[in-house]
């Protein structure tokens, strides 16, 4: 059985990805929460992951870190995590890697904080550019690659959906305006049973990081 080490569910967007994949594909695992804040090096986490960050997946003592690497490690055993069609699979990998490495202005301006639902405000040029790119990715996937197998980016749920799950929450929390197709995909993801479970667990957490709470309030304004 796998052991997955994650951060606080209210804040840890990166942890959500691996957890969501394991949950969606009904892969048995033991969940271990480690209280973390920010992306600074934390020596306390060094025994859990070579990069001293979460998420980190363990199997018989072997560690896999970075959400994209965890996804690939799991997909080698569960190929259904990627689309069956070669071109759709290549596109899913492309946008997953883009998500893993990019969208820094959006992620910085909109830290994940599931206990908030904010009014939102006009985005900066850099943040709006990221939002527009997310919309472009979602609409292209849904119109060009999605099949009749389901309502997710490539029809059936895939690694790509797990990779974009934290942005789904961010755009919802900060009340970002989305066109109909992108909004429909956002709502589909928010209704996913595992996303609802993660959200319910986040609301029960007592650990708070005031710095991140203030960042969220300053950017979005309380509703």
Residues 88 and 190 in one domain: yes
Residues 86 and 71 in one domain: no
Give the model's confidence band at 147: pLDDT under 50 very low, under 70 low, under 90 confident, else very high: confident
- Is 152 contained in some domain? yes
Ramachandran sector of residue 165 (left: φ over 0; alpha: ψ -120 to 50; beta: rest): alpha
Q: What pLDDT score was predicted for residue 162?
A: 98
What does pTM read for this prediction? 0.92
**Domain end: 41, 75, 109, which one?**
75
CB 101 within 8 A of CB 163: no
- Per-residue pLDDT, averaged over 144-171, amounts to 94
Residue bearing the bigger pLDDT, 130 or 51 = 130
Q: What pLDDT score was predicted for residue 211?
A: 55
Residues 187 and 127 in one domain: yes
Residues 86 and 195 in one domain: yes
Q: How many independent structural domains does the chain possess? A: 2
For 15-30, the pLDDT digits (tens) are 999 999 999 999 999 9
| % of the chain with per-residue pLDDT over 70 | 90
- Is 124 contained in some domain? yes
- Is 210 contained in some domain? no
Distance in angstroms (rounded) separating the CA atoms of residues 133 and 62: 36
Which DSSP state fits 145? Answer: I
Residue-range definition of the domain harbouring residue 103 = 82-201
- Is 160 contained in some domain? yes
- Is 91 contained in some domain? yes
CATH of residue 144: 1.20.1050.10
Residue 58 above 90 pLDDT?
A: yes
Highest mean pLDDT among 47-56, 112-121, 213-222: 47-56
CB 176 within 8 A of CB 123: yes
Residue 66 above 90 pLDDT?
A: yes
Residues 58 and 92 in one domain: no
**Domain end: 55, 75, 95, which one?**
75
- Is 65 contained in some domain? yes
Straight-line distance from the first to the last Cα atom of the chain, in angstroms, rounded to the nearest whole number: 42
CB 183 within 8 A of CB 126: no
Distance in angstroms (rounded) separating the CA atoms of residues 64 and 69: 7
Distance in angstroms (rounded) separating the CA atoms of residues 181 and 188: 11
- Is 211 contained in some domain? no
CATH of residue 9: 3.40.30.10
Q: What pLDDT score was predicted for residue 219?
A: 56
Average pLDDT over the chain reads: 90
**Domain end: 45, 75, 105, which one?**
75
For 98-132, the pLDDT digits (tens) are 999 999 999 999 988 998 887 777 889 999 999 99
- Is 216 contained in some domain? no
Residues 70 and 94 in one domain: no
What are the residue ranges of helices labelled H in 34-121? Answer: 67-75, 86-101, 104-109
């Amino acid at each position: 059985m796998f052991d997955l080490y994650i951060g606080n569910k209210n804040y840890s967007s990166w942890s959500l990805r691996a957890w969501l994949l394991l949950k969606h594909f009904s892969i048995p695992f033991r969940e271990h929460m480690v209280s973390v804040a920010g992306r600074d090096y934390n020596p306390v986490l060094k025994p859990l992951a070579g990069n001293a960050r979460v998420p980190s997946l363990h199997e018989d003592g072997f560690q896999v870190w970075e959400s994209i690497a965890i996804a690939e490690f799991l997909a080698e055993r569960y190929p259904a995590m990627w689309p069956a069609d070669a071109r759709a699979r290549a596109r899913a990998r492309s946008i997953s890697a883009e998500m893993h490495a990019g969208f820094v202005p959006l992620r910085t301006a909109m830290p994940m904080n599931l206990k908030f639902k904010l009014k939102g405000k006009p985005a900066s040029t850099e943040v709006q550019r990221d939002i527009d790119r997310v919309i472009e990715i979602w609409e292209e996937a849904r119109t060009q690659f999605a099949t009749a197998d389901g309502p997710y980016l490539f029809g059936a749920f895939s690694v790509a959906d797990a990779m974009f799950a934290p942005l789904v929450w961010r755009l919802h929390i900060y009340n970002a305006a989305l066109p109909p197709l992108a909004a429909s995909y956002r709502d589909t993801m928010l209704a996913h049973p595992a996303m609802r479970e993660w959200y319910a667990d986040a609301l029960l957490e007592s650990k708070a990081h005031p710095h991140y709470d203030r960042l969220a309030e300053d950017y979005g304004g309380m509703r």
